[in-house]
Structure 1
Amino acid sequence: MTWSFEVTPVDHPDAAQLLREYLDEIASRYYERQVTEEELDAALEEHHSRDMVPPTGAFLLARRDGVLAGCAGLRVVAPDTTELKRVFLRKSERGKGGAALLVAAAEEVARGLGATTIRLDTRSDLVEARALYARLGYEEVEPFNDDPFAHYYFAKPLAPAVPDRV
């Protein structure tokens, strides 16, 4: 089982597909019903990801054995702070170790964007995500935004990137 991660334009068809799947799942979970296509389209516009491009961010696609598996987004919020957003693995890809690898890949990209701190927010019903972030060394912090869908806030210091050895 081989995982790979690549920074991809957020408007790439694979990125757009995964963002749609991500928002469909979290919105449906929040409303405890399947959201309609119209609701999904409106949510995609309201919670857009257009700024997840260098130099204001980045968007990663995850593949397992070459098959599209998930995504993660980054937004630069200060010269030394990047926010982790849109972390998602398709249901068929969960439980295979990809989530931790995806977050690690996003952390590496955040370092490349100048971050010494990475932070995120999440909802109370996303217990799996909260457990993942705690396991990966993220610590709970005071709220840093007024997002009505955010209930928990986490941050993690990023060690400097280790230069490749020759």
Structure 2
Amino acid sequence: MQHEAVDPSHATTAFDMMLVDPTSSLGRAVIRRFFVEVVGRYWGREASDAEVEQAMLDEPSDDLRGDTGFLVIVRDGERVVGCGGAKVVEPGIAELTRVFVDDSVRGLGAGKALVREIETLSARRGVHTLRLTVRDDLAEAHRLYRRLGYTPVRPFSTSPYADNQLAKVLLEAR
């Protein structure tokens, strides 16, 4: 499996990032960790394997590659500590999705560096607006997005998990 290196000038020095195929073993493993976190938070308890597998089937990530999107992983040395991606929903507009940072690196800049890298890669692909939904129980994520300039917008999703709908207009391609 070949990985594309991501521009490190937009990341903290402690973290490396690279693009991966979401259907690869590495991509599936980190996306599974994302779902373990969000499904567990939703239910207020540890998520079962069956619940996580069902969530992955209900909300596939296969479109986070090629012309429809991308997936970035975050590494701290050799350890994968997060992921995030962008999915194109229409020309010039993409959704920030699958953003996850391991508890062990929260508060150390990994989330901020990850979102900024996704913004840069999105702008280079012609995206002018990134939008997202975030549940109320994902308070750390909501605070991060607001600090990075994402603001409330008119609803674009009818998902029962879209408690907050935010967007950010990106600067011209960097």
TM-score range, shorter chain: over 0.9
Which letter maps to 2:163?
Answer: H
- The match for 1:142 among 141, 154, 170 is 154
Q: Would you say 1:98 and 2:81 are equivalent positions?
A: no
1:84 corresponding residue in structure 2 = 96
| Displacement of 1:2 | 2.2
Q: Would you say 1:33 and 2:42 are equivalent positions?
A: no
Q: How many Å separate the matches in 2 of 1:68 and 1:42?
A: 23
Which letter maps to 1:27?
Answer: V
1:11 corresponding residue in structure 2 = 23
Number of positions where the alignment pairs a residue of Structure 1 with one of Structure 2: 162
| Displacement of 1:54 | 1.5
- The match for 1:121 among 133, 136, 145 is 133
| Displacement of 1:152 | 0.2
Contact 2:17–2:75, Cα closer than 8 Å, also in 1: yes
2:166 corresponding residue in structure 1 = 154
Which letter maps to 2:69?
Answer: G
Q: Would you say 1:68 and 2:77 are equivalent positions?
A: no
For structure 1, which segment, 64-73 or 99-108, has the greater mean C-alpha deviation from structure 2 after superposition?
A: 64-73
Contact 1:76–1:113, Cα closer than 8 Å, also in 2: no
CA RMSD of aligned residues (A): 1.1
Q: How many Å separate the matches in 2 of 1:146 and 1:130?
A: 18
List, as ranges, runs of 4+ consecutive aligned residues in structure 1 with deviation greater than 6 Å. Answer: none
Look up the SS of the partner of 2:66 in the other structure: coil
* TM-score with structure 1 setting the length: 0.93
| Displacement of 1:113 | 2.2
**Percent identity of the aligned residues?**
33
| Displacement of 1:10 | 0.6
Contact 1:58–1:73, Cα closer than 8 Å, also in 2: yes
Q: How many Å separate the matches in 2 of 1:77 and 1:113?
A: 13
Q: How many Å separate the matches in 2 of 1:35 and 1:6?
A: 28
Look up the SS of the partner of 2:118 in the other structure: helix
* TM-score with structure 2 setting the length: 0.89
- The match for 1:44 among 53, 56, 69 is 56
For structure 1, which segment, 31-40 or 78-87, has the greater mean C-alpha deviation from structure 2 after superposition?
A: 31-40
Contact 2:130–2:167, Cα closer than 8 Å, also in 1: yes
Contact 1:57–1:113, Cα closer than 8 Å, also in 2: no
Q: How many Å separate the matches in 2 of 1:116 and 1:29?
A: 31
Contact 2:84–2:96, Cα closer than 8 Å, also in 1: yes
Q: Would you say 1:55 and 2:67 are equivalent positions?
A: yes
| Displacement of 1:108 | 1.0
Query: Where does structure 2 lack aligned partners over 5 or more consecutive residues?
Result: 1-12
